[in-house]
Amino acid sequence: MSDYIVVFITCPDQMVAQTIAKSLVEKKLAACVNITSQINSIYFWQGNIEQDDEFLLIIKTKSSLFPELEKAVKEMHPYTVPEIIGMPVILGSEDYLSWIDETVKD
C-alpha cells in the first residue's frame, strides 16, 4: 500500500469546506487541502436521483492517518453519509512527498 493518499470529500457549501480544510491542516492530518470552486453532483440517495451544488476538498496526506482523518471529518460534516474516499498516490515528486512527511503527524 502507498504511504501517501489523496482524499476526496464533498461539502454542501464553502463555509463547511473551509472549516474542515482548516481543521485537518491544524491537526496535522493533512499537509494541504485544495477547495475546488462549485461543482454539480448528481447521485442516488434514499430511492431518488438528487442533484446539488457542492465544493470538493482534495486532501494530501499519509495513508496511516486516514482513520483519524475520517473520524475528524465525520465529527464536523453535516451529511449523514459524507463522501470520504482515499486513493493511493502511485507516483509523486520526491520533494513533495518529503514535504508531506515533514508536515503531517508521525
Query: What pLDDT sits at residue 2?
Result: 75
The 10s digit of each residue's pLDDT in 81-101 is 999 999 999 999 999 999 999
Terminal Cα-to-Cα distance of the chain (whole angstroms) = 17
Q: What's 89's domain CATH number?
A: 3.30.70.120
Query: What pLDDT sits at residue 106?
Result: 83
Q: Which residues constitute the domain of residue 8?
A: 4-103
Total domains in the chain come to: 1
The 10s digit of each residue's pLDDT in 32-89 is 999 999 999 999 999 999 999 999 999 999 999 999 999 999 999 999 999 999 999 9
Residues 6+ apart with CB under 8 A from 102: none
